[in-house]
Amino acid sequence: MATLRDIKRKIDAVKKTSQITKAMNMVAAAKLRGAQQNMERFHPYAEKFNEVIDRLAEGVEDAGQYVLLTPREEVKKIELVLVTADRGLCGSFNNNLIVMAERFLKAKQAEGCQVRLTAVGRKGGDYFRRRTFEVRKRMTGLLNKPSYEDAAVLGRELIEQFEIGECDEVYVIYSRFLSMVRQQATLMKLLPIAPTKKAEAEEKARLEYLFEPSHEALLTDLLPNYVFIEILESLYQTAVGEHAARMAAMENATSNCKELVKTLTLTYNKARQAGITKELMDIVGGAEALRK
pLDDT at residue 115 greater than cutoff 70: yes
Residue 292 banded pLDDT, cuts 50, 70, 90: low
pLDDT higher at 268 or 1: 268
Residue 199 banded pLDDT, cuts 50, 70, 90: very low
**Domain harbouring 67, CATH code:** 3.40.1380.10
79 membership: H or E segment, kind and range: strand 77-83
What is the model's pTM? 0.86
Mean pLDDT of 46-75: 80
Residue 194 banded pLDDT, cuts 50, 70, 90: confident
Q: Which amino acid is at 275?
A: G
Please check whether residue 66 lies inside any domain of the structure: yes
Mean pLDDT of 154-165: 93
Q: According to the model, what pLDDT value does residue 2 have?
A: 65
pLDDT at residue 268 greater than cutoff 60: yes
Give the count of domains, the chain: 1
Q: According to the model, what pLDDT value does residue 214 have?
A: 74
Which residues fall within 8 angstroms of residue 14, CB to CB, at 6 or more apart? 257, 260, 261, 264
Q: Is 257 a catalytic residue?
A: no
Least confident of 2-6, 60-64, 197-201, 203-207: 197-201
pLDDT at residue 13 greater than cutoff 90: yes
Report d(CA 264, CA 276) in Å as an integer.
18
Q: Domain containing 180: what range? A: 62-195+209-246
Mean pLDDT of 200-209: 53
**Hey, what long-range contacts does 41-50 have (CB within 8 A, 24 or more apart)?**
42/232, 42/233, 42/236, 43/233, 43/236, 45/229, 46/229, 46/230, 46/232, 46/233, 49/222, 49/225, 49/226, 49/229, 50/196, 50/226, 50/229
pLDDT at residue 200 greater than cutoff 50: no
Q: What confidence tens digit (pLDDT) does each residue in 76-102 have?
A: 999 999 999 999 999 999 999 999 999
Residue 66 banded pLDDT, cuts 50, 70, 90: confident
Q: According to the model, what pLDDT value does residue 253 have?
A: 94
**Could you say which of 90, 113, 167, 257 is catalytic?**
90
Please check whether residue 153 lies inside any domain of the structure: yes
Please check whether residue 144 lies inside any domain of the structure: yes
Q: According to the model, what pLDDT value does residue 279 have?
A: 76
Q: Report the percentage of the chain scoring pLDDT > 90.
A: 61
Are the CB atoms for 104 and 80 separated by under 8 Å? Answer: yes
Mean pLDDT of 224-228: 93
pLDDT at residue 272 greater than cutoff 80: yes
Please check whether residue 105 lies inside any domain of the structure: yes
Residue 241 banded pLDDT, cuts 50, 70, 90: very high
Please check whether residue 216 lies inside any domain of the structure: yes
Q: According to the model, what pLDDT value does residue 181 have?
A: 86
Q: According to the model, what pLDDT value does residue 73 have?
A: 87
Please check whether residue 142 lies inside any domain of the structure: yes
Mean pLDDT of 175-186: 92
Report d(CA 248, CA 118) in Å as an integer.
28
Please check whether residue 272 lies inside any domain of the structure: no
Mean pLDDT of 214-237: 89
DSSP letter for each residue of 174-204: EEEEEETTEEEEEEEEEES--PPP--HHHHH
pLDDT at residue 256 greater than cutoff 60: yes
Task: Tally the residues of the chain.
Answer: 292
> What b-and-e string marks burial along 87-108, b requiring 16 or more CB atoms within 10 Å of the CB?
eeebbebbebbbebbeebbeeb
Are the CB atoms for 84 and 124 separated by under 8 Å? Answer: yes
